[in-house]
A and B are shown apart, each in its own frame.
Chain A
């Protein structure tokens, strides 16, 4: 890419991926441009989030009183199942990787696209297909098994379990193909000079996520298929009346689903590594530690699944092994938290909306993570298992950490993706509402868990009433904050101020392109001589290769 005229860098890039090479619905639906696919994913996961959030609001409204409030027990049971299925499979797992990962990964590597653009488009259509099958099941009543589908309840209930299972199965393939694409892209499409130790930290965490996606998801696919077959045809291998073992299902399910939670948090950490550097204008403290800890989480995370089975009747020795390993996986998160905080030392911190979400993320990740370790302290888990303490723990991570990271990503990269800026005042107002609302929603749930309120309870004893009301009140504030974000972002996309190529003054590599980027990202391949987020010298214009460079 020849250095752009100053006017282009200052202003809105006229020839960009949104209007080139063609416009119109067909050009979008048949696109091979990773940026367009990323945007389509972003729209899809946002719709999914709204649906899952709507279910959450209904749940919280129902729990406003100890007895029936707005729905009956069967409907409530379906609501919490679908809330979990939609949020996890349609939002949490694909959101940051398939939306932001797709958009940013090639740009950050100095590449023109991902390794397999057609597979990328296929993974989008698989997402839509899986979502449609699951939606069909939802429209016909949906399942009432909880998103964990424990047998034998899931194989004997009369609700529409099979479409939900098949939808999740198809979504799994979308996830696998995305992961495969990202791994091959990272290995083979780095621009000259982009050694592994110069990779943006976003790439390291997305790469670790991709490894988990391709190794764990097939096992889930097989497990869900087995449950669907047993439900539909009675080919029981989990049915105790026919010699099957229902706890075996739990092992298979959690073998995927525990690494899956790392699929949900690693991309959030990816975003935060970028945000903390950009908004404190500082290199990351301990690059190698942060980079390798992502791989550590991916690796050790595969060996901890049994901590979901401490009360399932498995042997205490087995439980103990999983407990110890769970302690180790927490260390990697601890390293990241310390390194992010230490990055702020001697930085130049700008407290704008993305940074506000980083602050929320940091606070909530510490508590969410520590309560996870506390849960792994086995005797405590016996009391907390299947209570609201666990619900609060994972919402602290999934909402408090991952959703905050998603919001930070939206605000940080909106200028790059659309060429326009959001209104900063509204950004801070909404961030405060989201953070406060979040606290009021989920801190009462820790206390409910301590009191002994189990999960998935349609009705509850009166002594749990006050804390439930507090939680619902918090949820309303959280919801309003999120709606505000949606509204001003939509307005900003159409009518926000022109952002220019780099409104943040960030030295992440993606900011070397105009905003919005042209379809090919770079006209000629960039050459890298150092890592990202180096703020101790004046910025150099990026170098570019002669045509056809040799790979270093």
Chain B
């Protein structure tokens, strides 16, 4: 039944359980719409025939509705619409609640390609490999204008905004290859900004990832983009370390636990920091990013408001890299909070 309706409605394959659930709602909406519409049309057609004009001197009665008519006309549809909403809204909310063990992937849209980066792992262009049966969280941003990351087979879509991160997540249930589209008009080659989601069996994915981290990056996946300055293939974390050194962050923030002009970065990620205002804030990606863009906003208690803003000085991928670098600075005995996902080893430099 699911398959029959899916084909009639030209829906793509259902690459996840979420997609299946959304389609179930889709069928419900379509079927009730068709039934309701058929009711209206049949009534109308019956009236066209039954009450067609028979003579020019026809008189018609003055008909007024009874209250019950209007109550049905209002109450019926309203109840139906709210029922649809009551099913769809929780599904929508679930898209913003990734499980704690979701694997992160950074997605960056730029005119006119998708770049993917695994924390501590390889970078890729236009091809996103993920394991089947494991939740994957996408942290999406843009280098230039608004794009939108869309995978029809998963029924997910999220805008890629410059200067911000948005997130969505999925759990692809079985291996396969699925199209990725850009779904927000972004200029000349908007319709060529295609990508491919490659869902691999979990074991194959683990092998592939281990291979990547051993530095045997395949030329295709990590090839530099024509026109981009060529850097040696490096992980996001290494990139972050380089940016932090070049931009002078390490002049104020230590990486060995000593207190200096700014808070130390060791074990900073997910630490509960007390602000000057007395509030507690968790140093997650959002806080770390914000601290770089608007440092005066939430100053940690005991430190001065002397940090300059890096807005406009760091490109969004550089910001992301610094965040990843900070995340990697965990002492082995880190106990400040629950471990958020796999511990990333730095790729050894050649």
Contacts and interface: CB of A to CB of B under 8 A. Distances in A.
A349 interface: yes
Contacts of A116: none
B298 to A, nearest CB: 16
Interface stretch (A12-20, A133-141, A227-235, A307-315): A307-315
Contacts of A156: 144-145
How many of chain B's residues touch chain A, expressed as a range?
Answer: 35 or more
A330 B77 contact: yes
B191 A460 contact: yes
Interface string B42-68: 011001100111101011111111000
Tell me whether chain B's interface is mostly helix, strand or loop, or mixed. mixed
Contacts of B312: 241-242
Contacts, number: 266
Interface stretch (B154-162, B229-237, B260-268): B154-162
B211 interface: no
Contacts of A527: none
A150 to B, nearest CB: 6
Interface stretch (B86-94, B273-281, B317-325, B330-338): B86-94
23 contacts: A73-B191, A144-B188, A240-B162, A240-B163, A240-B164, A242-B311, A289-B73, A311-B157, A323-B85, A346-B51, A346-B61, A347-B60, A348-B53, A363-B37, A366-B37, A379-B92, A382-B22, A383-B156, A386-B184, A452-B152, A452-B181, A455-B183, A461-B194
Interface in B5-64: 9-12, 22, 25-26, 29-30, 33, 36-37, 40-41, 43-44, 47-48, 51-54, 56, 58-64
How many of chain A's residues touch chain B, expressed as a range?
Answer: 35 or more
Interface stretch (A43-51, A93-101, A336-344): A336-344
Contact of B29 (A331, A374, A451, A534): A374
A146 interface: yes
Contacts of A242: 311-312
Given A319-B92, A323-B85, 4 more contacts: A240-B164, A283-B60, A349-B47, A378-B92
A422 interface: no
Contact of B156 (A280, A323, A367, A382): A382
A383 B161 CA distance: 18
B10 A339 contact: no
Contact of A346 (B22, B48, B60): B60
Interface of A: 73-74, 77, 144-146, 150-153, 156-157, 240-243, 246-247, 280-283, 285-286, 289, 310-313, 316, 319-320, 323-324, 327-328, 330-331, 334-335, 337-339, 341-342, 344-351, 359, 362-363, 366-367, 370-371, 373-374, 376-380, 382-383, 385-387, 447-448, 450-452, 454-461, 467, 505, 534-537
Nearest to A534: B62
Given A377-B88, A383-B22, A73 B41 contact: no
B185 A344 contact: no
B192 interface: yes
B81 interface: yes
Which A-B residue pairs are the 3 nearest by beta carbons?
A452-B152, A240-B163, A379-B91
